[in-house]
Amino acid sequence: MPDGVDPCRPEIRRLLTGSGRFTDDTAPAEALQVAFLRSPWAHALIRALDPAAARARPGVVAVLTAEDLAADGIGPLPALARPPGVGPIEPPRTAIARDRVRHVGEILAMVVAESPARAIDGLEAIHVELEPLPAVLEAGAALEPGAPRLHESVPGNLALDWRQGDPAAVEEAFARAHRVVRVRERFARIAAAYLEPRAAWAEHDAERGVTTLVLASQGVHVQHRLLCTALGWSPASLRVITEDVGGGFGPKFPVYPEPLLVAWAARRLRRAVRWPASRSEHFLADAQARDLDAELALAVDADGRFLALSLDAAAGLGAWLSTFAAIVPTTGTSRVIGGLYRIPRIALRVRLAYTNTAPVDAFRGAGKPEALFLLERAVDEAATALGLDPAELRRRNLLAARDFPWTTPLGHSYERFDAPGLLDRARLLTDRAGVPARRALATRRGRLLGFGLACHLHPSGALPGEHARLELREDGSFEAWTGTQSQGQGHARVFARVIAELLDQPPARIEVRQGDTAVLPSGPGTGGSSSMVVSGNSLRRAANALRTLLLAEASALLEADSADLRLVPGAIEIVGTDRRIDLADLARHAAASGRVLRVAQPQEDPAETWSAAVTAAEVEVDPETGLVRVTRMATVLDVGRVIDPMGAEGQVQGGIAAGLGQALLEQIVYEPASGQLLTGSFLDYAIVRASAMPPLAIDWWCTPSERNPLGVKGLGELPTNGAPVAVANAVYDALRPLRVRHLPLPLTPERVWRAIRAARSGPDTPPE
């Protein structure tokens, strides 16, 4: 690390010293408090809802219902993203349920009061009568004939039957294949479980006719665009701000009913209004993830060459179509389903179904962890069927240098990467050669040891709408604005480094700001591991443009040609002389003539980048308890140029932790008959703790991207795409002597223990 570089990111120092500005911290002290009456039923008709008694309670300022929304002309919340082809059927989603509720936690009414306690009193005074209806909780069941119907406009609960590829060519390949292996998995729903639950507050400036909404989000411009559409307000009349955010991972990107209602109430009441979500509301109402039931078939020839692949999946959307939900199991799957392999024929069918559960949306990986889990499990199963080492089967099919440029059968153009090199390095870092000795030692201790691999990748960068801004301030420092939104990734540090490198200035003199629709006209927000690819490169172009502008300004003042000038820390000087002008003086001189030394850099056409990795895991399984302990892990990643190694390592650690949670612990559980949420707190929903993290070897295999000037590729979601299946393959390897063929996810101790017990009892013993 260079001398003088603070190893602690500036924003982390600010947060650790108590100077953070999270949404609820910034709300006006006099703001009214909001509480939402939420449905206790998964599916019910609203027979009566009378707010009169609640409105009469002391301290209650307003009780707002669906009728009030309709009277003010507030429309439904629209979704945003659509897969190629015909889009899904999208029933209108009102922010407050009108005639029927369709999931536990759906909003029935909104109470605005002088204090949180008064707001709760108001909730309890609302008279509501609900008539329960049959509920359906899983996509497969929702698509069965006779299943309870959620929306009149959606026959059979089928929002979309989406297909890609050439099924006839795949079937022909299957017919001549030596073996066709099939893997079926049911991916449990999971929660984001971020540190900071969602929050929002709003106030209305009647004189200017502008409502300001402050919320925890992953991008203010997406919120602004969709909220204006639903509210029916002009873009100029709504300002959206996001400051510090305590974790996002995807589910703070969608547009939810609560911020819309907060903004609407603030304008309607002409008072500041605030809503901080409780942790219970997070589990009830925030977008959940995964919820996929899928079967993947992989055809191989007698030499172990992959011939074709097919995927048939049913994905649960929840009760409503959320902002990005439609593209998660469709294009999210399509982009990575071929993995790092030469697979000449692929066909997909994905059905999207509405269910009586909270809506789903993008979460770390957004469809890729599920797709790659199925693929990498199928590769291991094929290796077993052919009597090959799983690494050897992979090696025979991995894309090699001679295969590039490579375009998948579904039309996705990969960047160059060294897949065989990644595989060899991952095996070396986990000492694959030492597995037999460690397995023997584990056996003597009564443990089962297994080793697993996962080859995985992630696309990033194809997010439009970025608009970077950079200016020299009158004190000689710089202010940069970008349309992304950090939620703990350290954007300020890494973006400042990019700018500083081009302006030859200390990074500490560059303030990076995000999250205000009044400053930037557009921005993509943060998602898809694309911030560095999109905003890093836009800020780089802005820095180049500002450099040219500053040198031109100094050229006139110093009476020297721009070619003879250079930027140095805090000044511009004539090369080879002692003549110079301080940057502060340069900015003040421009200000005196009414000018600001500022450049704006709209985004160029975004280019998609592809990062790749191989992850290896070793586990020990206790057959007496079913406990799985990950004892060692390594991941070798090609993410292009690594600008901030410390931040990048943190991203890998976080991504691995998320993957371990999906593999071993995390699942949202609804009671099957009633649809009641059983995992409504951290007493019931398990996440990975620091003590469960294994020793982790991280190695960077950097092939700079040729698709952007910085040479960067996406990182944040790449580890999560591979970690779950690397661990699962290791568990299956450990249990192979017992001939355990299938384990439902997550691989909890109880499930593993039951599978071991059933295997030891013999094939005729039914599972408990």
Give yes or no for residue 757 having a pLDDT over 60: yes
- pLDDT-derived band at 16 (thresholds 50, 70, 90) equals confident
DSSP run (H or E) holding 170: helix 167-176
pTM of the complete model: 0.96
Cis amide leading into 695 (omega within 30) = no
Q: Which residue has the tokens 């020793």?
A: 695
Place of tokens 């006779």: 146
Residue 598: in which H helix or E strand, if any?
Answer: strand 598-602
Residue 763: its pLDDT value, please? 58
Closest listed residue to residue 230, CA positions, set 323, 310, 161, 162:
323
What was the pLDDT predicted at 606?
72
Between CA 481 and CA 516 the distance in angstroms is: 9
Token pair recorded at residue 669:
């559980």
- Tokens of residue 282, six digits: 């997070």
Distance (Å, whole) CA 166 – CA 169: 5
What's the whole-number mean pLDDT along residues 26-54?
A: 98
pLDDT digits (tens, 9 = 90+) for 284-328: 999 999 999 999 999 999 999 999 999 999 999 999 999 999 999
Give the mean model confidence (pLDDT) for residues 159-166.
98
Residue 15 has a pLDDT of: 85
Continuous H helices in 278-402: 279-285, 331-336, 368-386, 390-397
Task: Locate 308 and state its tokens.
Answer: 């074709």
What is residue 10's predicted lDDT score, i.e. its pLDDT?
64
Q: Which two tokens stand for residue 192?
A: 């984001």
From the list 412, 497, 517, 427, the residue with the least C-alpha distance to 457 is: 412
CATH of domain 467-602: 3.30.365.10
pLDDT of 2 strictly over 70: no
What band does 5 get if pLDDT is binned at 50, 70 and 90?
very low
Whole-number pLDDT of residue 9: 60
Tell me which fold the domain 415-462+607-768 belongs to. Aldehyde Oxidoreductase; domain 4 (3.30.365)
Mean residue pLDDT of the chain comes to 96
pLDDT > 70? residue 55: yes
Could you tell me if 628 and 731 are in contact, meaning their C-beta atoms sit under 8 angstroms apart? yes
Q: Which residues pair with 162 in a beta bridge?
A: 350
Which strand ranges, in their side-by-side order, compose the sheet holding 448-460? 448-460, 609-621, 628-638, 696-700
Residue 740: CB partners within 8 Å, gap ≥ 6? Answer: 732, 755, 756, 759
Pairing status of strand 60-64 against strand 107-113: antiparallel
Calculate mean pLDDT across residues 100-122.
Answer: 98
DSSP 512-545: EEE-BTTT-S----S-TT-HIIIIIHHHHHHHHH
Q: Which CATH class is domain 12-133+198-276?
A: alpha beta
Answer yes or no: same fold for 12-133+198-276 and 467-602: no
Helix or strand run (H / E) with residue 657: helix 645-664
Burial of 700 (0-12, 13-18, 19+ CB in 10 A): middle
- As given in the structure block, the two tokens for residue 213 are 């909404």
Contact (CB, 8 A) for 415 and 408: no
pLDDT value at residue 12: 76
pLDDT band with cut points at 50, 70 and 90 for residue 11: confident
Closest of 319, 123, 328, 286 to residue 200, by C-alpha: 286
Per residue in 473-514, pLDDT tens?
999 999 999 999 999 999 999 999 999 999 999 999 999 999
Which residue, chain included where needed, has tokens 């595989």? 423
Residue whose structure tokens are 């065989």: 420
Residue 200: helix, strand or coil by DSSP?
Answer: strand
Which CATH code is given to the segment(s) 138-186+289-386?
3.30.365.10
Instruction: Lay out the sheet containing 292-300: strands in order across.
Output: 158-165, 346-354, 306-318, 292-300, 179-187
Least confident range of 7-16, 41-50, 145-154, 650-659? 7-16
Other residues' Cβ atoms within 10 Å of the Cβ of residue 737: 11
pLDDT at 768 > cutoff 80: no
Six token digits for residue 51: 């707010």
pLDDT of res. 462: 85
Positive or negative: CA dihedral 722, 702, 11, 503: negative
Count other Cβ atoms within 10 Å, centred on residue 121. Answer: 18
Query: What tens digit of pLDDT does each residue of 356-390 get?
Result: 999 999 999 999 999 999 999 999 999 999 999 99
pLDDT at 525 over 80: yes
- Name the DSSP letter for residue 412: -
pLDDT, mean of residues 540-544: 97
| Straight-line distance from the first to the last Cα atom of the chain, in angstroms, rounded to the nearest whole number | 56
Domain extent listing, the chain: 12-133+198-276, 138-186+289-386, 415-462+607-768, 467-602
Q: Look at residue 160 and give its three-state secondary structure.
A: strand
Token pair 């500036």 is found at 10
